[in-house]
Amino acid sequence: MPLTCQSLLQAHPAPWDSATTHPFLAGCQSGTLHPAQFNTWLVQDFLFVKDFTRMVGRVLGAAPDDHIDGLLAGLGALKDELLWFEAKAAERSLNLSTSPQLTCQRYCEFMASLAARPYSVQATALWAIEYAYNQGWQLPGPMPEPYTEFADRWGNPGFTDYVHLLAAQADAALAIASPEVQAQAEAAFLQVADLEANFWQMAFTAAEAAQ
């Protein structure tokens, strides 16, 4: 049977749980997260999203014709998201002209490396990245202020629909991929899960190092 996004989730529940359930998100939901920890994450996530936007552009370049519209919609949303990040950083007096933490740098290097992979691998990684954000901000439940709009941005039904579209596109590509390429897609999924878990954790370790 061909590999699918759903079969990846079923085969690897523990890594995926680590990617989408973390004390950082629980702290947002409970209101106990230290502001410095959230600010660390916010700045690094802005740097991440800039490179993620470049990744989506590369995926678009490799995509079949019938996948272009959905990817273009995603790129349009990312333009708005980068402007939104800049506004949130300004509200918090944060400097976005900073260097990426090692965890962020590794994630960005991974995304750049996907350009050399087949489209089905790129599509699987794109779905996994977006789904991790979607689930991470949905699973804790309603978020109190000042985190409500962050949860709404990535946990809203429209974004969930977009993630489902990405899953369908990845599944279609995986259905015609060779076993070797499917193995690459599975490895990419697991690497996304590991990088996501480390990215949440970075908010604690980097903030502590800065104190």
Q: Which residues are annotated as a binding site?
A: 45, 81, 130
Which residues are catalytic, by number?
196
CB of 196 within 8 A of CB of 17? Answer: no
Q: What is the DSSP letter of 80?
A: H
- Tokens coding 118: 């087949």
How many C-beta atoms surround the C-beta of residue 160 within 10 A? 16
Rounded CA Rg of the chain: 17
Task: Report d(CA 188, CA 122) in Å as an integer.
Answer: 8
How many C-beta atoms surround the C-beta of residue 167 within 10 A? 22
3-state SS class at 90: helix
> At 38, phi and psi to the nearest 5?
-65, -40
Q: How far is CA 29 from CA 4, 21, 138, in A?
A: 31, 12, 10
Q: Which residue ranges are tagged as binding site for substrate?
A: 45, 81, 130
Q: What is the DSSP letter of 141?
A: -
CB of 114 within 8 A of CB of 58? Answer: yes
